[in-house]
């Protein structure tokens, strides 16, 4: 392991928060990288891994490392909510730095972030790439098309699609921050002021959309979120899609249920229902390439997600979703 670096005296206090579940090989690299960076605290939410993660963590001796062992896997969303709450109670940092267990700052990223301080209050999102340097699409920040007329026109009326509201490749090559509305919980620095004003992420979302929802809340509260290309993270992620189907199947329940929350916040009361009316027929016919019981299970999960979203049911437990997916 690289020798640990000490944060500069009187510098802003940064607590890194990592949520992990059964990805020891990648997670090990993340922890080792974090402990080699000038961070004040590293807080790990261990979600009940069975691959030796807990045992490996128990063998570490590092005063900046704190591990919370969860009784059950509450997903990344509950992990980030729990982690930020605990970080506030235990350390009261100036900045919360959140990331997945397969993502980590590139060497020097924390120093690069510190060099931008002081700065306006608002979330700061790093430039996230794959280990080979290519831009990681799932972590590309964006502007909410429902809040910006020009972006809306390009995205929907001119058929620009996703590219119209996600930042362009050129932004990654610039040496200045770019205003954005939202992004992912990979390399996101959240200031104390944001937590004081907007609270914590919604842990009930389990997985998918919790980061989008939270950063939209910050932007709606008037906090100036920015993309910062001088701060670089790497992400060893793999796509969750196999053709047009999400695998494992259980993920499709959370994806579609949580999209309701995201669209409601992003589109607002005037446009939300027309958008949902356009999306529902497309959602309900997904999984057409599947056969028999698989198709029935997949579409059943989507129907359940829609019903729970419409009724506001955010309390369905994960073991039930696994059982309905035939994967429990």
Dihedral angle computed from the Cα positions of residues 22, 24, 29 and 31, in that order, rounded to the nearest 10 degrees: 70
pLDDT in the model for residue 149: 87
Q: Which part of the chain is CATH 3.90.550.60?
A: 14-235
Decide if pLDDT at 87 tops 90: yes
Peptide bond connecting 27 to the previous residue in cis, omega within 30 degrees of 0: no
Q: What is the mean pLDDT of residues 228-248?
A: 82
Question: Residue 244 — pLDDT band, cuts 50, 70, 90?
Answer: confident
Question: Residue range 187-207: average pLDDT?
Answer: 97
Pairing mode of beta strands 124-129, 188-191: antiparallel
**Residue 70's pLDDT band (cuts 50, 70, 90):** very high
Burial of 315 (0-12, 13-18, 19+ CB in 10 A): exposed
Region 287-316 average pLDDT: 96
pLDDT in tens, 140-186: 999 999 999 888 888 877 666 778 899 999 999 999 999 999 999 99
In the predicted model, is pLDDT for residue 1 greater than 60?
A: no
Residue 291: predicted pLDDT: 94
Q: Beta partners for 105? A: 233
Mean pLDDT computed over 51-60:
97
> Which residue intervals of 93-144 are DSSP H helices?
109-114
Mean pLDDT, residues 291-314 = 97
Q: pLDDT at position 4, please?
A: 65
pTM, 2 dp: 0.93
Rg (Cα) of the chain, in Å, rounded?
Answer: 20
Burial class from Cβ neighbours inside 10 Å (0-12, 13-18, 19+) for residue 229 reads buried
- Tell me the torsion sign for CA atoms 163, 236, 194, 36: negative
Task: Determine which helix (DSSP H) or strand (DSSP E) holds 248, and give its type and residue range.
Answer: none
- DSSP alpha helix (H) spans, 223-291: 250-284
The two three-digit tokens of residue 132, written as one number: 């080979």
- Residue-wise pLDDT for 105-137, tens only, equals 999 999 999 999 999 899 999 999 999 999 999
Assess contact for 36 and 109: CB atoms under 8 A. no
The residue among 240, 280, 246, 242 whose CA lies nearest residue 260 is 280
Q: Is 308 left (phi over 0), alpha (psi -120 to 50) or beta?
A: alpha
**Element spanning 179, H or E:** strand 178-179
The one-character DSSP state at 313 is: -
- Using a pLDDT cut of 90, give the percent of the chain over it: 88
Least confident of 10-14, 32-36, 221-225: 10-14
Report whether pLDDT(39) > 90. Answer: yes
Listed in sequence order, the residues at least 6 apart from 280 whose beta carbon sits closer than 8 Å to its beta carbon are: 306
- What is the overall mean pLDDT for the chain? 94
Topology of domain 14-235 in CATH is Spore Coat Polysaccharide Biosynthesis Protein SpsA; Chain A (3.90.550)
Residues whose CB is less than 8 angstroms from the CB of residue 208 and which lie 6 or more positions away in sequence, other chains included? 251, 254, 255, 258
pLDDT tens for residues 201-236? 999 999 999 999 999 999 999 999 999 999 999 999
């Amino acid at each position: 392991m690289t020798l640990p670096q000490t944060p500069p005296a009187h510098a802003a206090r940064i607590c890194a928060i990592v949520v992990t579940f059964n990805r020891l090989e990648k997670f090990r690299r993340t922890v080792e990288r974090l402990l080699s960076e000038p961070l004040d605290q590293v807080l790990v939410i261990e979600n009940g891994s069975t691959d030796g993660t807990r045992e490996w963590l128990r063998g570490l001796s590092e005063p900046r490392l704190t591990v919370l062992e969860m009784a059950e896997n509450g997903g990344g969303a509950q992990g980030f909510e729990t982690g930020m709450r605990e970080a506030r109670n235990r350390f009261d940092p100036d900045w919360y730095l959140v990331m997945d267990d397969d993502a980590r700052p590139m060497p020097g990223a924390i120093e690069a972030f510190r060099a931008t301080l002081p700065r306006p209050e608002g979330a700061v999102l790093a430039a996230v790439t794959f280990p080979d340097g290519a831009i990681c699409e799932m972590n590309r920040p964006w502007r909410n098309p429902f809040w910006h007329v020009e972006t809306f026109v390009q995205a929907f009326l001119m058929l620009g699609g996703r590219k119209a509201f996600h930042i362009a490749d050129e932004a990654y090559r610039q040496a200045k921050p770019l205003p954005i509305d939202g992004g992912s919980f990979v390399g996101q620095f959240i200031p104390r002021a944001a937590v004081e004003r907007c609270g914590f992420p919604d842990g009930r979302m389990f997985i998918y959309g919790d980061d989008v929802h939270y950063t939209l809340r910050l932007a709606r509260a008037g906090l100036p979120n920015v993309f910062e290309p001088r701060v670089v993270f790497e992400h060893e992620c793999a796509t969750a899609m196999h053709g047009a189907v999400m695998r494992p199947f259980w993920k499709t329940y959370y994806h579609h249920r949580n999209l309701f929350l995201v669209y409601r916040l992003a589109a607002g009361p005037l446009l939300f229902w027309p958008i949902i009316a356009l999306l529902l027929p497309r959602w309900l016919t997904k999984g057409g390439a599947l056969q028999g019981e698989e198709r029935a299970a997949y579409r059943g999960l989507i129907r359940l997600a829609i019903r729970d979203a419409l009724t506001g049911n955010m309390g369905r437990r994960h073991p039930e979703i696994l059982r309905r997916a035939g994967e429990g």
